[in-house]
Structure 1
Amino acid sequence: MNLRDLNYLVAVADNGHFGRAAEVCHVSQPALSMQIRKLEDFLGVPLFERTNKTVMITEAGRQIVARARVVLQEAENIREIADSFRDPLAGKILLGAFPTLAPYLLPKVIPALHQHFPALALYLVEEKTEVLVEKIKAGEVEAAMLAIPVEEEQLDSEELFTEEFLLALPADHRLAGHTSVSFNDIRNESLLLLEEGHCLRTQALKVCTLVGARENTEFRATSLETLRQMVAASVGMTLMPEFAVREQEGVVYLPFTGDVPSRTIALFYRKSSVRKKLLSEIAGHVRDLIGQAG
């Protein structure tokens, strides 16, 4: 049994198909199937149930795959330790961010990060918060920019910045001529929100509860850009994160007075990560960049 066999095993479990697993592992299907058979012979238990059309993992296989993931992650940690001693600021790193932040913030900071860390190959992953948390824990992503709080004992975090929300409303709305709005101004108003699964939806619902506003239940958007277009079409108003504000015909953005709604973004990574020093440097550089931009 070796790391290659464990990689094959996990690939079959993830893909549920020997052919697709072989493609992922860049080997022929007969070669991969043969190694899985050898692994089953070595362990003395079947790992998969095979039919002409499907591959189902056995209970023994499920438990062994779970341990295989741990072994593969530890092997990757060993490689990362060696890389960090050769050059702490070099190598590959996968950085995640959620959809209501990634397309608006990352273009502002990634070029500067590339310039500051020229030997670092930075790859970006955009997913919803719960997906990114699982990817960090599984070692598929090194770190991710997420809105706090994230309750996960396996993760450490460093705060990056606080981003205020503005009220985005149609240009023909009764409040559009104001220079700012208060919570009282939107009491009993209905707000357009994102669909389930977006952390911004949770944050906006908290604001609705706080000010006595309500959700427009007739429409839920899949993205901030859809929300922006719905506001421009005079369907309703919404909360827009500061970094996502951009000019759009028919849309007016107003800042809040008083207790301004906001979200705090932090860089989350595994407590066991061997690249904590690098991640801390990245966090510090992002803080500096946002501070300069502000």
Structure 2
Amino acid sequence: MIPRPRCESEAEMLPQPEKLALTLFRRLDVFIAVAETLSFRRAGEIVGRSQPAVTAHINQMEESLGVKLFIRSTRQVRLTTAGAELLERGKRLMAESERLVRDIHAHAGLLTGQVVASFSPTIAVSLVPRVLAEFEVEHPGIRVMLREDLAPQMFESIRNGNVDFGIGPYRPVIDELSFDPIFDQEFSLIVRMDHPIAIRGFARLKDLANLNVICSAEGTTARAVLEDAIRAEGISIYPKYEAVHYPTLYALAAAGFGGAVMPAVDLGMLSAMGLTAVPFRGKRLARTIGKVTRRGEALAPGPKAFLRLLMAVVERESRNLGIS
């Protein structure tokens, strides 16, 4: 009987660059754990390997690549320049791999899958519940994970692949991302129902000069909308209080500390707090809300379906949402 020749493994049959890439990919989780913790012991606990096994993995990676990834001493571990670059690109590769698996699952008739979306706070409370109510009926097998983020957190999570897309007023965006306008979100003067301006039924920008104005914090898009408007009007305001999040601004207005120039967000919530959204007369205050995605990348079926439904809700309920 002629002995059967020994088969080479798939990795052995690959050309050298592909073989190296495959080896690197198989060890990325170990490398990332060490790079993020800067501890071989803690990395071993994360990936479920012994410390010697982790050390051997890193040594083999460095030998294969021909560069040092870490500078190690008895007191500390730190990344080299090459290690820092591998960490950044390796995390993107791992995130893309996870997204690929989700997308393949989602292609099966949109029966299963996942949507991970980031929203600015005012959009999260006003628009998302309406979209989710319909999305769950149409796609019950798709899991939706929501985040509320300000611009820096939204940009980073989309860039790194942790989020499929973002919806918010954040532009300009960083180079790796794109911003596509969807609608304009209008601003009103949020005051108590018994405030003289509320009783009058409309507000003028010049009213703000004699009003205790409760402002969004500097650096927010809501603050920029207000500052641009008063600058054009040639008036000055002196904020009484400042806050980042709109519920805090509304709570201060409800307590009688003044008025906030903000989107109405949810008329039912305002009414429950004894507040009303007074429209501005003679000047329209608004900001553009858009879709933020990774530049040049197509969305998976699940996120695409979510966005299509979102656009339909925007068109149908724009009046109730205070958008145009």
TM-score, structure 2 as length reference: 0.76
Change (3 A) 1:90 1:197: farther
What are the Cα deviations for residues 59-103 of structure 1, in whole angstroms up to 9, with x where unaligned?
A: 221122233234435544654564454445631221001233323
Superposed displacement of residue 229, structure 1: 1.7
Query: Structure 1 85/232 Cα, relative in aligned 2: closer, same or farther at 3 Å?
Result: closer
Shift of 1:144: 0.7
Question: Alpha carbons of 1:217 and 1:260: their partners in 2 closer, same or farther (altered >3 Å)?
Answer: closer
Runs of 4+ in 1 over 6 A off after TM superposition: none
Residue in structure 2 matching 1:254, options 278, 288, 296? 278
1:138 lines up with 2:156 in the alignment? no
Correspondence for 1:98 among 85, 95, 120:
120
Comparing 178-187 with 206-215, greater Cα deviation is found at 206-215
Please say which of residues 1-10 and 49-58 is displaced more in the overlay: 49-58
What per-residue deviation string (whole Å, max 9, x for no partner) do you get for residues 108-152 of structure 1? 322222222223221112211122112212211110111153334
Q: How many Å apart are 1:16 and its aligned residue?
A: 4.2
SS at structure 2 position matched to 1:269: strand
| Match of residue 292 from structure 2 | 268
Note if contact 1:145-1:267 (Cα within 8 Å) is conserved in structure 2: yes
1:4-23 correspondence to structure 2 within 5 Å: 4-18=26-40, 21-22=43-44
Once the two structures are TM-superposed, the CA of residue 159 in structure 1 deviates from its matched residue by: 3.8
| Structure-2 residue corresponding to 1:27 | 48
Q: Does 1:128 align with 2:150?
A: yes
1:201 equivalent in structure 2: 223
- From the superposition, tell whether residues 163 and 85 of structure 1 become closer, same or farther in structure 2 (CA, over 3 Å): same
Indicate the residue corresponding to 1:63 in structure 2.
85
Partner SS state of residue 88, structure 2: helix
Identity across matched positions, percent: 24
Give unmatched runs, 5+ long, in structure 2. 1-22
Greater alpha carbon shift after TM alignment, 98-107 vs 232-241: 98-107
Q: Is the Cα contact below 8 Å between 1:102 and 1:126 reproduced in 2?
A: yes
What is the aligned length?
Answer: 293
Amino acid at match of 2:48: V
C-alpha contact 2:29 2:47 (8 A) present in aligned 1: no
Paired residue secondary structure (1:258): coil
Contact 2:211-2:258 at 8 Å conserved across structures? no
2:63 to 31, 35, 41: 41
- Name the residue aligned to 1:147: 169
Specify the alignment match of 1:232 in structure 2: 254
Greater Cα radius of gyration, structure 1 or 2: 2
* Cα deviation 1:149-178 (Å, max 9, x = unaligned): 333443344444332211012456442321
| 2:129 corresponding residue in structure 1 | 107
- After TM superposition, the structure 1 stretch with the greater mean CA deviation from structure 2, 146-155 or 162-171, is 146-155
Q: Distance in 1 between matches of 2:43 and 2:235?
A: 50
CA contact 1:181–1:255 (8 Å) conserved in 2: yes
- Does the CA contact (< 8 Å) of 1:186 and 1:211 recur in 2? no
Amino acid at match of 2:291: L
Q: Is the 8 A contact 1:205 1:215 kept in 2?
A: no
Q: Which residue of 1 aligns with 2:16?
A: none
**Alpha-carbon distance in 2 for matches of 1:139, 1:128:** 17
Alpha-carbon distance change, 277 to 249 in structure 1, aligned in 2, over 3 angstroms:
closer
- The DSSP-based 3-state class of the residue aligned with 2:87 is helix
| Structure 2 counterpart SS, 1:272 | coil
Is the 1:191–1:213 Cα contact (8 Å) retained in structure 2?
A: no
In the aligned structure 1, how far is the partner of 2:265 from the partner of 2:50? 47
Q: Which amino acid aligns with 1:243?
A: V
**Is the Cα–Cα contact under 8 Å of residues 191 and 260 in structure 2 kept in the other structure?**
yes
